[in-house]
Structures are given as C-alpha cells and as structure tokens.
Amino acid sequence: MMAEPLAKPRRKNPLERTQQPLLPPSARSRKAHGLTLAAASGRFMIQCCDECGRYTYPPRDACPHCLSADLAFRDAQPSGVLLSETRIEVTSDPYFREHMPWRTGLVKLQCGPVAVVHMHGDCGGPGSELLLSLQLDRAGQAVLFAKPLSEMPHMEDDRQWRELTADPKHRRVLITDGRSPMALPLAASLSKAGAAKVFVGIADRWKPFATKTALEAIEGVELVELDLTSERAVQDLAMDIGAKVEILVNTADHVRPAHLFDAAAAGTARETLDQTVMGMMRLAQAFGPIMRARGADGATGAVAWVNLLSVHALSSAPQFGIQSAAHAACLSLSQWLRGELRQGGVRVINAFAGPLDTEWYQTLPAPKVAPKTLADAVVDGLKRGLEDIYVGDVAKDIEARLFDNPKAVEREAGQ
C-alpha cells in the first residue's frame, strides 16, 4: 500500500479548541540513552559485546550470551527481515489513543537481535526486507523505525513517519535574521521542500541589503519586521504571527574578531551577546510558549526550533573567541529550551558548522562551508528528525576528536 500524498491542510477554525500536546511513554534506563545519542545524529548503533562480539537489544548492563559487562554502542547494519506485524487499534496510552491505528512489527535485525519496531505504511508483509533507523519520538527518546528498502512516491508523507520528523512540507517557517548570509539559501531550500510560508525577519527594513530582491522573488517568502535586540519588537511579531510559526530557524550571529586583551573587547562581547544569547532568550520567551502549546495542532502543528551554531561552541577558536563564547552560551540555552519545548513535543535542533565561506572568515584557509550546503543540511535534518547536525569537514573533525580526546582539541586550537 503506497502512502497518500499529504494534502494541504485546511485553514483552522479559530473558534475550535487547540488540542493539548501529549507525549509517548518516556521512561528509559540510563543505558538506553546510548540509542538516544545515536538517533540525535542520525546513526544506527546498538550494543555490541567486546568479549564475544555479538550484538544485543534492548540495551542492558550485561551480555545475555557471555554475561560480560563490556557492552559498547557500535554502528550496526541498518536492515532486517520482518517476522510479524501488528496493527494496534486500541490502547490505554493517551498519546497513542489519538494516533490509532498504529502499525508495529517484530524484526530480525541483520546483526542478530530481534526487536519491536514502528513501521512505515509502505512496508511489506512478513518476510520482507526493511531499512531500519533510530528516530527520536515526541518525548525525545529513541525508537526503532522500519521503512521499505526502496524509495516509493510520497514516503515522507506517511503519518507515523511525520510524527518522528519535522518535515517542513506545508508548514510555516520563521527565519529570524534576513540579513544573515544564511537567510537566502535557507528560504530557497525550505520553499523547495514544500514550506507553505517562509517569514524572514529584518531589522530596520528601511535599510537596504543585498539579498532583499532575491528573497522577495522566492515563492511564499514574506519579509517581517524583527529586531532581536528589542524585546518589544520580538513580542510584537510573536503576537502577529506566533500562532502561525511551526518551525523557527534562529540565524542570528555577530562575528567580530577581537583579542581578549584589547581595550574594546568588552564592548564587542556585549554587542555579540546581545545579538545572539539575549536575542535567543527574547525569541524563546515570545515564541516558545506558543509553539509548545501548538505541538499537537493538527497535521502541521509546531515541530522544531533550529539554532545555527558555530562548532566552536564546543571548542573555542582563539581568533574568534567572542563568537565561540557566545555560541557556547547559546548551546547551553538551547538545552534549557529543549527541556521546555519537549513538553509540547517540539524538538530543538542544533546545526553545528565550521567557518562559513563568507567575508568575516575571509582570512581563514579552506575547508569552509558554503551557506547553501548548511541550508540543505538543515532541511535534510528536519526531514530526518535529527537533533544534532554537523556540517563541513571542520565540524565533523572536531566532533570526532572531542569524543576521542577533548584535551587534544583544546591544546591544538588556533595552531
């Protein structure tokens, strides 16, 4: 059975009650969060015993084959064979009661274990081969999901799949800083992905900027007044379009190289923090409660908040120390925000990138990240339901080295 294309949603009746967000069961053991780590970045990892070399599922403290406690999460073959399937029609769980019927199956993983998985509507019957992935559900916990091996039309519109992703199709998006070099490629990528509307915030709209004409030429784009340094401006926009925004992409940045011992460094830091950290705080206070309340608002309810961050939020770059410190603060703030928005089933996505190929990073050597590459990665992350996205060689290298030896990354920074 092929998935039906998602129809454009009807305009909501303002007199109807907004459905309250409900979350799927979220209780997990500490060991099970190894699956959460893998799902957040789009990897398929399950426990593998270092003694006997056999994979095991679900996560546990000791190997069921040899009783060894050396169980590490390792990449595994993301495929399996369907043994049996169940179409659940009745449940006592409040979240799943609103999403019945729900298709599940018992799958023999290619690497050995047998697991219960959520199933895409296009999956075949018992004996069929399936492609598996680890996904984050609305409660932010990892679950197994199965799809057919081969692509089929409208697969991304499957009802159960959309519950585990943040696909922008037919959704309305706010890009917070239209003067950012990321605004134009993001607006183009989101429009191509089927976004119903892309609001682009512009501070001081009377001031010209290079990409204004190109932005206005994209179908579905609307420029709106938004100054992240003004609490009043952010609140006014939230009152105007807050109930329409299902995905918010925070592109605010303020790149100004400065030496720590420079006399003007404190002033530069103050401006950067006001634009980034305090700007994000103002956005969270204005748009956060509305998005959290709309987490279950129909097929296109609020689903995601995206922060574009420098990978040096994880490891400071001395030549861009102020930006590194500001983005590190934004990362901490995003984790706070994640805890608040999770109550409404809205995910917070952090996209970490190395130096962009823009004028502020002119003196840095390659490799650099093209703005379009970052924009496409963000849209891909939304479609796949990721939580952490690493874009570019520098970001991926720092991610891998931080897992290996954080002190080595710290010592080698700026060399």
Query: Per-residue pLDDT tens for 386-400?
Result: 999 999 999 999 988
What is the model's pLDDT at position 200? Answer: 97
Closest CA to 199 of 180, 181, 226: 226
What is the model's pLDDT at position 165? Answer: 96
Collapse the DSSP code of 114 into the 3-class scheme (helix H, G, I; strand E, B; otherwise coil) and give the result. Answer: strand
Most confident of 6-10, 305-309, 311-315, 402-406: 305-309
DSSP character at residue 360: G
Residue-range domains of the chain with CATH? 33-161 (no CATH), 172-412 (3.40.50.720)
Contacts of 209 (CB under 8 A, 6+ apart): 178, 179, 202
Round to whole Å and give the CA distance between 7 and 305: 24
What is the model's pLDDT at position 68? Answer: 94
Where does residue 210 rank: exposed (0-12), middle (13-18), buried (19+ CB within 10 A)?
exposed
For the chain, give the percent of residues with pLDDT over 70: 99
Collapse the DSSP code of 241 into the 3-class scheme (helix H, G, I; strand E, B; otherwise coil) and give the result. Answer: helix
What is the model's pLDDT at position 136? Answer: 97
Round to whole Å and give the CA distance between 210 and 184: 10
Round to whole Å and give the CA distance between 135 and 164: 6
Quickly list DSSP for 167-225: --TT-EEEES-TTSTTHHHHHHHHHHTT-SEEEEEESSTTS--TTHHHHHHSTTEEEEE
Contacts of 39 (CB under 8 A, 6+ apart): 134, 135, 136, 142, 143, 387
Contacts of 171 (CB under 8 A, 6+ apart): 195, 196, 246, 247, 300, 303
- In the numeric block, which tokens belong to residue 407? 């002190």
| Average pLDDT over all residues of the chain | 93
Residue 2 has pLDDT above 80, yes or no: no
The predicted-structure confidence for 190-241, as pLDDT tens digits, reads as follows 999 999 999 999 999 889 899 999 999 999 999 999 999 999 999 999 999 9
What is the model's pLDDT at position 363? Answer: 78
pLDDT category at 414 given cuts 50, 70, 90 is: low
The phi, psi pair for 68, rounded to 5°, reads -70, 145
What is the model's pLDDT at position 288? Answer: 97
Let me know: does 364 contact 318? Beta carbons within 8 Å: no
Residue 168 has pLDDT above 90, yes or no: yes
